[in-house]
Every structure is written in C-alpha cells, then in structure tokens.
Amino acid sequence: GVEILENRPYTDGPGGSGQYTHKVYHIGQHIPSWFRSILPKAALRVEEESWNAYPYTRTR
C-alpha cells in the first residue's frame, strides 16, 4: 500500500507555490514470496518526495 507521511501546500519552494508530498510505498505484497525472502526489509519500502507547482515538478 501507500502511506502518505506529509501532504501540504508550500509558498516558498521550488517553482513558487505548490504542493509537497512525502509518500512511502510498501511493495512487499506485490512481489513473489521467494524473492521477498532474499531481499532486505529496506528493499521492500520505497520513499518518494515530490514538489508540484505546475508546470514545475520535482520528484526524488
């Protein structure tokens, strides 16, 4: 699933005013169990930060 840690507007960030989001994607249930068993726990979690101020968008 997706866990939203932060979702807030900003006025002084990249591209001027926009929306900042910080999400964590839990991907463990979407891969085969044999593959999941050889991966470290940290590999089953993907973090995303994004700044959206149309037309400017930055994601890392």
Query: What is the distance between the alpha carbons of residues 36 and 49, in angstroms, rounded to a whole number?
Result: 24
* Bridge partners, 6 (sequence order): 22
Cα torsion for 1, 41, 36, 58, to the nearest 10°?
Answer: 50
The model scores a pTM over 0.85: no
How many CB atoms are located within 10 Å of the residue 51 CB? Answer: 17
Please give the residue that has the higher pLDDT: either 15 or 58.
Answer: 58
Q: Are strands 56-59 and 45-53 parallel, antiparallel or unpaired?
A: antiparallel
Please tell me the predicted confidence (pLDDT) of residue 12: 87
What residues are paired with 23 via a beta bridge?
4, 48
Domain boundaries, the chain: 2-59
Task: Give tens-digit pLDDT for 3-56.
Answer: 999 999 999 888 889 999 999 999 998 899 999 899 998 999 999 999 999 999
